[in-house]
Structure 1
Amino acid sequence: MTQRKRKLLGTVALLLLIGAYAVLAVAVAIVLQVRNVSKVAELVYYVVAGLLWVLPAGWLIAWMQRPDA
């Protein structure tokens, strides 16, 4: 697969990943608020959830940037 095709597929996949992750993160945040967890636990969740999406996005971007054979 050429780098150009990988970038196209990777861009679409990245947009889908971020959209799905945002929906999932909001759903978990709502559950935390309904269960009245402590503010510290909420803060920890928001920090972790705010940074966790970077790992799969980084792997995807690294795959997209791989040079052609």
Structure 2
Amino acid sequence: MRWRTPIGGIAILIGLTGYAAAAATLGGALPEHALLQAVYYLLAGLLWIPPAVWIMGWARRDDRSG
């Protein structure tokens, strides 16, 4: 049974939604400094990728088991 794939997809959707809300909230608290905000949003926009890749790799192991 392929149970990891839907769990991984749901985990990514829930996690990314929470992450985006937290990043936007924290970003809204930043001082009005263009360079600081640009660096913050660049990093915040990229930091979700490694956990999502890990979850996709975890979910993909389900396909190799059967």
Residue type at the aligned position of 2:18: A
Equivalence for 2:15: 17
TM-score normalised to structure 2 length: 0.88
Structure 2 unaligned regions, length at least 5? none
Structure 1 unaligned regions, length at least 5? none
Percent identity over the alignment is 34
5 Å-filtered alignment, 1:34-45, equals 35-36=31-32, 38-45=33-40
TM-score normalised to structure 1 length: 0.84
Q: Give the total of aligned pairs.
A: 64
Question: Aligned to 1:49, which of 39, 44, 47?
Answer: 44
Structure 1 residue runs of 4 or more that deviate by more than 6 Å after TM superposition: none
